[in-house]
Amino acid sequence: MPEPTPPEYQLPGAARTPQNGAVADTGMGGAMDLATAEGETLERPPDAGPPERDAEGDAEGAAGERARSLWSDAWRELRRNPVFIVAALVILFLVFISLWPGSITWMSPLKCELSKAQEGSQPGHPFGFDGQGCDVYTRVVYGARTSVTVGFLATLGVALLGSVLGGLAGFFGGAGDSVLSRITDIFFAIPVVLGGLVLLSVVTSNTVWPVIGFMVLLGWPQISRIARGSVITAKQHDYVQAARALGASHSRVLLRHITPNAVAPVIVVATIALGTYISLEATLSYLGVGLKPPTVSWGIDISAASPYIRNAPHALLWPSGALAVTVLAFIMLGDAVRDALDPKLR
Amino acid sequence: MLLEVRDLHVEFRTRDGIARAVNGVSYGVDAGETLAVLGESGSGKSVTAQAIMGILDMPPGRIASGEIVFRGTDLLKLKEEDRRKVRGAEMAMIFQDALSSLNPVISVGDQLGEMFVVHRGMSRKDARARAVELMDRVRIPAARERVRDYPHQFSGGMRQRIMIAMAMALEPALIIADEPTTALDVTVQAQVMDLLAELQREYHMGLILITHDLGVVADVADRIAVMYAGRIVESAPVHDIYKAPAHPYTRGLLDSIPRLDQKGQELYAIKGLPPNLMNIPPGCAFNPRCPAAQDVCRTDVPPLYEVTGAVAATGIAAAGIAGAAERRADRTSACHFWRECLHG
Amino acid sequence: MAEPVLEVSGLHKHYPLTQGIVFRKHVGAVKAVDGVDFTLGRGETLGIVGESGCGKSTVARMLVSLERPTQGRIRYKGEDVTRLSGRALKAVRRNIQMVFQDPYTSLNPRMTVGDIIGEPFEIHPEAAPKGDRRRRVQDLLDVVGLNPEYINRYPHQFSGGQRQRIGIARGLALRPEVIVADEPVSALDVSVQAQVINLMDRLQSEFDLSYLFIAHDLSIVRHISDRVGVMYLGRIVETGRDAEIYDHPTHPYTQALLSAVPVPDPEAREHRERIILAGDVPSPTDIPSGCRFRTRCWKARERCALEVPALAVPAEFRFATGPAAHASACHFAEEKQVVPPEEREA
């Protein structure tokens, strides 16, 4: 997966050096960033009354009485972002059907009639039947639970473990950092599918946990490497030195100054990885080491339907479509959150 | 005249609207002459230079109108292919940051030689010999041994010399130096400026020196063009401008620099900030910051007035370029009240 | 001199150079600061000038405890700061604050101006009661000439000069006695430089501050400083009152430095004597024996390679009372006027 370069990597420097894309070639980075409202004067004109404030500032907390913070501003920003709203609705819906699949279905996903195998859409069965004669609609709805659980928990685990280890290594450096870097190198050398075949074949449990555990085990080095890099970048900024010169503790520097400035690449990579984890679950299930029937998952259905793609494409397309929409929703969510955390983009 | 920029307009499309970076700039430079273009960040001095060199990023940049006449041809009408032949061979540019302008993975000898290979079709071996010669000429010690070294192995001053050598390689008629010494220490800065001035004299080149440093300008320039918000607000021979500026902005700049020879009282500070280029004030762009602004300054854009009856020029600049002076107004100011400014 | 607030003696900072990955072996050291002494009086401004790499910024970082000196003492009102840690160090830090060079990287882009200027109060909660902080931040904005209503804006909405004012406000928040300013105006435009210098001048008298003002621009240093120290390769080579250094320099390096400064007066270029130094500054890993400036000095003789010149009033001037009688680390110190008094019509 290519390492994304979110704008955070360029902006701080770019604003300073006169090479910032568009207009800043003239070296006017600072002046151009200036809000139009205050382009006129720097010195506060004595008794000139309050300067024009943007409408938004007026609406929010009467004359700025309430202190604003990055997180509250980000939340306000998110609420007005249509991309975020759409993504959030999709994800909420997914969570809902994962918890209560019965609310929008009326059959059991395991009740199949071989006689109806591969039949297309018909009343009561909008998505048709798969190769085993099971109702595709019901299976897609029930599959959401496993797929979303696997994708979400694996991503969460990877992101937490990776960013904590990578972030701490990047922040403190030294021997711990060297050791961690070598360990990530070793993990990068393990082929995912082969690793899965070896590790998961010895597991007999029929739950999703071994699969999630395996994904976290192999996925964290990727996030760790990215988190380490962006923490090292953020650490070098003068504002971190400024906080240290004030006497700020390590935890304060890490939480207030480094994390918000280093989190963007992690969010981007993690949300993209979420999709790959759902697909990886499918791959592993296909190879027979992931989830096993009777567990219902999109991955199992996709792999099961692939032999019949010519005769019954619907059996493949519906679960794949659900997977695609889910992945897209998470990527959109990640994008929106990343943008909301960057005040420069407001 | 070697190069003449006529009424150049450059704008940039940005997320928030159109930024007018250059709004009708005209200036000219003769062979053997040094024109200093002075301005703060955002004044459009570098954008003008990039437009002349044809290295402006387009889009987002766009040359809205104007002419750039170099040796009688309008460069803006040339095809990109022909333009490329001019670039490097007939005009060259020196950038501020020599470290990022040099490729870190290619030896300086190869980078210098590249010019000869590309433009003159020389063999690698001959090109390298020429590279050594060039490095000698910009007084890099032990050039023959160091030709295989990489940029990071040179000090800042030496790297800027290499940049100068690269610009000089094909003996161009015009060199544009964009803040060539800003990143250097003061003692090294003096060496590099001296070298540049010497080479210019030797090859009788035109030199456009883009800078914000009034000290450097006073040291080397023949003429000065002061830019503000994309326009030239004052243009004059160097001696005149320092003696008696004819624009309040120039006057403000001169007054706001601390002096080396005495400890001053409070510094004069031009109030306010340079304007937002997306929203340039009507009338004279400087009017919100000008201590002497009148109503007319807020409504009418001042034309370039010819400044006459000024302090007599001391005649240094005139020596090599006597002919040129006849063809253009020697001194102009874009201030409705230049007379008051000159004598105030 | 006024009562000293800071006394620095024998300050060294050597960064070890190591080789090997597992068994690190010392192969030398970068001697960034190599024996610096000075005192800073209450309400006084000491200017430190020097070229890049002379160690002036390292001195600044040691004063605000961002680096620990390899050797030497920094005494704040008689107490050795270098030995302190924990609570005691934090208390001293309140009184020695720093203003950084680059206003674009010294402010956290993801914090509001209110958070940035208020951070010192959060780190040192005893400095201001919680309910009072917001008002204090607004007062500080007012003091540095910014509109107090800007409290909820983000740094990127300000120009370079305004950002530097924010940086200064942060430095002032805890009412320190000493402000260490590392090139505070070198990233700003000429017209804005003057505004910031005037502001610093005003604040000094208003709050009775002592400044350690570090810059490479000799004119600005003269403007703001009462005393000046010239640094070369990790050491102060000449120090004295501003007129002593600028009008009567006795160290050849100071003379060369001053003579190289371009003066904004075209008349001066004909009759000015320029001392062009040969070669580059030697590497701080391999400092020349004896006088560290001898490799570039036109006066160097055998004695210079053998004896380290002490920073003291040279023998020639020991009994003189004129401005040439100030500390200069040169065996062959002699007075030489290199800055011609300008004549400019006002």
Each residue's pLDDT tens digit, C178-226: 999 998 988 888 888 888 999 999 999 999 999 999 998 888 999 999 9
> Closest to B272 (Cβ–Cβ): which among A25, A26, A43?
A43
Our count of domains for chain A comes to 1
Please indicate, yes or no, if residue A56 is contained in any of the structural domains. no
What is the C-alpha separation between C136 and C119, in angstroms, rounded?
Answer: 12
In the block, residue with structure tokens 């160090």:
C89
The answer to whether B192 and B185 have CB atoms below 8 angstroms apart is: no
Please indicate, yes or no, if residue A231 is contained in any of the structural domains. yes
> Closest to C108 (Cβ–Cβ): which among A29, A43, A257?
A257
- Return the sign of the alpha-carbon dihedral for residues A51, A54, A55, A56: negative
Q: How many CA atoms lie within 13 A of C320 on its CB side?
A: 13
C86: buried, middle or exposed (CB in 10 Å: 19+, 13-18, 0-12)? exposed
Residue A4 has pLDDT above 60, yes or no: no
DSSP secondary structure, C133-202, as one string: HHHHHHHHHHHTT--GGGGG--GGGS-HHHHHHHHHHHHHTT--SEEEEESTTTTS-HHHHHHHHHHHHH
Looking at residue C107, which CATH number applies to its domain?
Answer: 3.40.50.300
> Closest to A247 (Cβ–Cβ): which among C90, C104, C162?
C90
Please indicate, yes or no, if residue C37 is contained in any of the structural domains. yes
| Residue A228 banded pLDDT, cuts 50, 70, 90 | very high
Residues 6+ apart with CB under 8 A from A247: C89, C90, C93, C94, C123, C124
Angstroms from A235 CA to nearest CA on chain C:
11
Please indicate, yes or no, if residue A3 is contained in any of the structural domains. no
| Residue A14 banded pLDDT, cuts 50, 70, 90 | very low
Q: Give the amino acid at C249.
A: P
Sheet-wide strand order for C96-99: C96-99, C178-182, C210-215, C45-49, C227-232, C235-241
Q: How far is CA A48 from CA A43, A44, A45, C103, C130, in A?
A: 11, 8, 5, 27, 30
pLDDT tens per residue across all 346 residues of chain C: 578 899 999 999 998 887 766 566 777 888 889 899 999 999 999 999 988 888 888 999 999 988 889 999 999 988 888 888 888 888 888 899 999 988 888 999 889 999 999 999 999 988 888 888 889 999 999 989 888 888 888 888 888 888 999 999 999 999 999 999 998 988 888 888 888 999 999 999 999 999 999 998 888 999 999 999 999 999 999 999 988 898 889 999 999 988 888 888 887 777 777 888 877 788 888 888 889 999 988 888 888 988 899 888 887 777 777 788 888 899 888 888 777 665 444 3
Token pair recorded at residue C229 = 């120290």
Residues 6+ apart with CB under 8 A from A132: A112, A114, A117, A304
Angstroms from C6 CA to nearest CA on chain A:
17
The answer to whether B33 and B207 have CB atoms below 8 angstroms apart is: yes
Domain that holds residue A326: 84-345
Looking at residue A281, which CATH number applies to its domain?
Answer: 1.10.3720.10
Residues 169-208 of B with CB under 8 A from C: 185-191, 193-194
Q: Provide the pLDDT for residue A346.
A: 66
One domain for residues C200 and C60:
yes
Please indicate, yes or no, if residue C231 is contained in any of the structural domains. no
Q: Provide the pLDDT for residue B249.
A: 92
Our count of domains for chain C comes to 2
Question: Using one digit for the tens of pLDDT, what is the confidence trace for A265-277?
Answer: 888 888 878 878 8
Domain that holds residue C174: 4-225
The answer to whether C194 and B269 have CB atoms below 8 angstroms apart is: yes
Sheet-wide strand order for B73-74: B17-29, B3-14, B61-70, B73-74
Q: Please tell me whether residue B209 adopts helix, strand or coil conformation.
A: strand
Check CB contact of A255 with chain C, cutoff 8 Å. no
What is the C-alpha separation between B276 and B297, in angstroms, rounded?
Answer: 18
What is the C-alpha separation between C283 and C31, in angstroms, rounded?
Answer: 9
Pairing verdict, β C210-215 and C45-49: parallel
The answer to whether A273 and A155 have CB atoms below 8 angstroms apart is: yes
Please indicate, yes or no, if residue A197 is contained in any of the structural domains. yes
Collect all residues of chain B within an 8 Å Cβ-Cβ radius of residue C45.
Answer: none
Q: Please tell me whether residue C48 adopts helix, strand or coil conformation.
A: strand
Please indicate, yes or no, if residue C242 is contained in any of the structural domains. no
Neighbours of chain B (3+ CB pairs under 8 A): A, C
Which of C265, C262, C261, C254 has the alpha carbon at shortest distance from C293? C254
Residues 221-250 of A with CB under 8 A from C: 237-239, 241-249
Q: Provide the pLDDT for residue A6.
A: 38
Question: Using one digit for the tens of pLDDT, what is the confidence trace for B192-202?
Answer: 888 888 888 88
Q: Where are the beta strands (DSSP E) in chain B?
A: 3-14, 17-29, 34-38, 61-70, 73-74, 91-94, 174-178, 206-211, 223-228, 231-237, 305-306, 332-333
Residue A37 has pLDDT above 80, yes or no: no
ipTM: 0.81
Please indicate, yes or no, if residue C180 is contained in any of the structural domains. yes
Pairing verdict, β B61-70 and B73-74: antiparallel
What is the C-alpha separation between A293 and C86, in angstroms, rounded?
Answer: 60
Interface contact flag, A26 B271, Cβ < 8 Å = no
Report residue A286: phi and psi, to 5°: -60, -40
C227: buried, middle or exposed (CB in 10 Å: 19+, 13-18, 0-12)? buried
DSSP secondary structure, C219-240, as one string: HHHHHH-SEEEEEETTEEEEEE
Angstroms from C323 CA to nearest CA on chain B:
14
Please indicate, yes or no, if residue A328 is contained in any of the structural domains. yes
What residue segments make up the domains of chain B, in order of their start? 1-95+174-260+268-277
What is the C-alpha separation between B100 and C102, in angstroms, rounded?
Answer: 19
Which of A158, A134, A133, A147 has the alpha carbon at shortest distance from A269? A158
Between chain B and chain C, how many beta carbons pairs sit less than 8 Å apart?
A: 141
Q: Which of B90-104, B109-123, B181-195, C263-277 shows the lowest mean pLDDT across its residues?
A: C263-277
Please indicate, yes or no, if residue A341 is contained in any of the structural domains. yes
One domain for residues C211 and C254:
no
Q: Provide the pLDDT for residue B36.
A: 92
Q: Provide the pLDDT for residue C23.
A: 63
Could you tell me the maximum CA-CA distance found in chain B, to the nearest angstrom?
Answer: 67
Please indicate, yes or no, if residue A295 is contained in any of the structural domains. yes
Which of C184, C162, C169 has the alpha carbon at shortest distance from C101? C184
Pairing verdict, β B305-306 and B223-228: unpaired
Question: Using one digit for the tens of pLDDT, what is the confidence trace for B244-283?
Answer: 888 999 999 888 888 887 777 788 888 888 888 888 888 8
Residue A166 has pLDDT above 80, yes or no: yes
Q: Which of A95-99, A103-107, B290-294, C325-329 shows the lowest mean pLDDT across its residues?
A: A103-107
The radius of gyration computed from the CA coordinates of chain B, to the nearest angstrom, equals 21
> Closest to A22 (Cβ–Cβ): which among B14, B44, B274?
B14
Interface contact flag, B274 A31, Cβ < 8 Å = yes
| Residue B319 banded pLDDT, cuts 50, 70, 90 | very low
Q: Provide the pLDDT for residue A16.
A: 35
Which of A211, A271, A261 has the alpha carbon at shortest distance from A232? A261
E strand or H helix at A168? helix A136-172
Neighbours of chain A (3+ CB pairs under 8 A): B, C
Q: Where are the beta strands (DSSP E) in chain A?
A: none
Q: Provide the pLDDT for residue A20.
A: 35
Q: Provide the pLDDT for residue B114.
A: 84
Mean pLDDT value across residues A317-330? 87
Please indicate, yes or no, if residue A115 is contained in any of the structural domains. yes
- This prediction has a pTM of 0.80
Q: Give the amino acid at A314.
A: H
Q: Give B1-95+174-260+268-277's CATH code, choosing from 3.40.50.1820, 1.20.1440.230, 3.40.50.450, 3.40.50.300.
A: 3.40.50.300
Token pair recorded at residue C173 = 């928040």
Which of B109, B152, B338 has the alpha carbon at shortest distance from B233? B338
> Closest to B14 (Cβ–Cβ): which among A23, A34, A41?
A23
Mean pLDDT value across residues A245-262? 88
Q: Which of A32-36, A139-143, A176-180, A239-243 shows the lowest mean pLDDT across its residues?
A: A32-36
Q: Give the amino acid at A230.
A: S
In the block, residue with structure tokens 């008051």:
B340
One domain for residues C275 and C340:
yes
Interior/surface letters B89-121, b for 16+ CB within 10 angstroms, e for the rest: bbbbbbbbbbeebbeeeebbbbbbbbbbbeeee
Question: Using one digit for the tens of pLDDT, what is the confidence trace for B176-194?
Answer: 999 888 878 888 888 888 8
Domain end marker among C225, C257, C286: C225
| Residue A284 banded pLDDT, cuts 50, 70, 90 | confident
Interface contact flag, C219 B259, Cβ < 8 Å = yes
What is the C-alpha separation between C257 and C277, in angstroms, rounded?
Answer: 9
Interface contact flag, A246 C162, Cβ < 8 Å = no
Q: Provide the pLDDT for residue C1.
A: 56
